[in-house]
Chains A and B, each alone.
Chain A
Amino acid sequence: MSGESASAIQKGQVDLLDFIDWSGVECLNQSSTHSLPNALKQGYREDDGLHLDSDADEQLLLYIPFTQVIKLHSILVKGPEEEGPKTVKLFSNKEHMGFSNVNDYPPSDMAVLTPDNLKGKPVLVKYVKFQNVRSLTIFIEDNQTGSEITQVQKIMLYGST
């Protein structure tokens, strides 16, 4: 695990948690009891009891603006084996998307998460596409087993400014 954490925080990359503009963070279709801060915020995300749940169906749409322009290197998504997310699409600098127009734009990057990823292996993104990121939209399209609720325990973003 220590080896993993060392590789997770790669050379020059920092945890972008400090650059998140919390006033503008939004999450569509999240459950009211299990909401986004559970997965994003320092302290909450380490607690396995606190996680982000989807509400009406299994999709989730996260919108994370930043206080300054950043470069995104990789993301880490932790979740349970069954309800954890599978297909994750990332959009850079697209404000206020909704579920209806999320498929109208090609994503800046897409990742299909494996159980390994869900255990803590970060996913490297197409760095060239994320050089000038003001806001990040994460669209979780489905989960590992197709269950009704998607659960996310932790989301970490790595990059530089």
Chain B
Amino acid sequence: MVLEATMICIDNSEWMRNGDYSPSRFQAQADAVNLICGAKTQSNPENTVGVLTMAGKGVRVLVTPTSDLGKILACMHGLEIGGDMNLAAGIQVAQLALKHRQNKKQQQRIIVFAGSPVKHEKKVLEMIGRKLKKNSVALDIVNFGEEDEGKTEKLEALLAAVNNNDTSHIVHVPAGTNALSDVLISTPIFTGNGEGGSGFAAAAAAAAAGGVSGFEFGVDPNLDPELALALRVSMEEERARQEAAAKKAAEEASKQEKGGEQQASSQDATMTERASASASEAETKTNDMMDDENALLQQALAMSMDDPAINQEAKDTDMSEAASDDPELALALQLSVADSSKDSSSQSDMSKLLADQSFVSSILASLPGVDPNDPSVKDLLASMQNQSESQQKNDDKKPPSEEEKK
């Protein structure tokens, strides 16, 4: 709830074309900026945010500090990538813009997105940092994009020069599957200095840890419904994978010899888990509120453990659709699926469940974003039914095939 005037410095240099952050560095940066603007204006209605670009023809102030979120988001449109980032000039212009803020009672803060290599000397940056500290301007640095040797060191030195009582922060975001915005949500850049956690940021942080408060996942479904939906679906999938991982660990203890089987069994497990997860959606939500950071850790572990399972899962859906066209493929798929089951009773239970098309279609209908009337979904259902039917046939074939193997 700190009354603050913020200037956001955007890196729109050529380095931002790279796609190592999805969809592109520039787009990831723009999403992060939008989120930050929303968070700042929500935490205190008198907060103002301004935006400037550091590359292109030169440092250009797109919008001076204002509390009008629409104006800020509008100026993010039509930004062009080009040129080279001028960090020193960007920070100095930001400082100047903050100096001329209308409400002098606001604290001054600059948020810098440093995506391209830093060409300034460390001394120059330290001098700038000291000047900022002298004028009691806080600085947040988002170090992403290019991993230049010395870049991290220079930015850390800049932070050390500016930092006054932990009001300034630096965040290193390596390239990866996590979106830039998601990583930033849990950092002090969003959450303030601990004591001043805004409602938006607190909700986002809490939701990231598994809780639900106010807005689910910290994103207002009215502001960004697609993002909220995507977050919800991925959260459910994460839970499913986590349960699959737990099952896998238990199975691994008993079936140590056949490594390949486990992956295939977890395939089935995940498919039914997904069904059961969506069915008991409402119940598990409240239960999951209790797992805070532990859940997040477990999910991360599960994700790294489950990577092979995930790939196979995706392939499974593709293969099912292809299988309806290619009978040999279908047979191979069924054999690999059938091979996994030692516990034939559970297998037949699962296959019965899958075979019950009405049950499956009701599950699919409850899954958000899935239209049961979609032809691809119908194909999938059909192939799944074929699978379950042939599985029952293969249950008979299994003992002879296992004997053959031995």
Q: Which residues of A contact B (CB under 8 A)?
A: 28-29, 32, 55-57, 59, 95-96, 98-100
Contacts and interface: CB of A to CB of B under 8 A. Distances in A.
Given A28-B136, A98-B135, A55 B99 contact: no
A99 B131 CA distance: 9
Interface in B268-317: none
B134 A32 contact: no
A55 B104 contact: no
A44 B99 CA distance: 31
Contacts of A100: 99, 135
Interface string B208-239: 00000000000000000000000000000000
12 contacts: A28-B136, A29-B136, A32-B165, A55-B133, A55-B134, A55-B164, A56-B130, A56-B133, A56-B161, A57-B130, A57-B134, A100-B99
A28 B135 contact: yes
Contacts of B164: 32, 55
Given A32-B165, A56-B131, A95-B104, 10 more contacts: A28-B136, A29-B135, A29-B136, A32-B164, A55-B133, A55-B134, A56-B134, A56-B161, A96-B104, A100-B99
A59 B165 contact: no
A98 B165 contact: no
Interface residues of B, number: 11
A99 B134 contact: yes
Interface of B is mostly: helix
A56 B133 CA distance: 7
User: Interface centre among B134, B161, B165, by most A CB within 10 Å?
Assistant: B134
A99 B165 CA distance: 21
Contacts of B133: 29, 55-56
Contacts of B99: 98, 100
Nearest to B101: A96
B2 to A, nearest CB: 16
A31 to B, nearest CB: 9
Contacts of B131: 56, 99
A95 B103 CA distance: 12
Contacts of A56: 130-131, 133-134, 161
Contacts of A57: 130, 134
B135 A99 contact: yes
Contacts of A95: 104
Interface in B107-160: 130-131, 133-136
Contacts of B165: 32
B219 to A, nearest CB: 35
